[in-house]
Structure 1
């Protein structure tokens, strides 16, 4: 919840994509080992091509959801997604970033029954 005297949002949406990389023999693995860096670049390029200047795409260090990775979180809503393909990224871009909906099948913390 925002306060009435908060400044306006600088970005409508702020997307943080885990690009953390651990050593290859680390049992937790890492989002970067699972392709998050290339998928982030794809999302960033598509966002720029579409002219979505009110959306910011950022790399993040470990978001502490390694077993679900690669992961992203979108603020201000705080919606988490797990994704693995360019098609997943494109669906999140169109459904969430452009249209304001949710991609329930990719949500990490889906509401019951979704």
Structure 2
């Protein structure tokens, strides 16, 4: 649920590309094993070449975005992630110290 104090949405569009990697012998395969990392790099290059200012590939990572609120967090440690999970996902609050400022 969005809160009145939540920042506006960051972008006109969000494009998510899975880059999950599983072991090469995993029968399910993985996105990274199917070339998604190269495709992500191509998307980043194309976004710059086309001048798409309101469609951006984030470089502030590691980051996570939680929908439907559109809240972006930057985190560095497992403790940070656990705080986000407990405060935001379980309790519906916000971890303001980890929220990314608009257009970071």
TM-score by length of 2: 0.47
Question: Rg larger in 1 or in 2?
Answer: 2
Greater per-residue strand proportion: 1
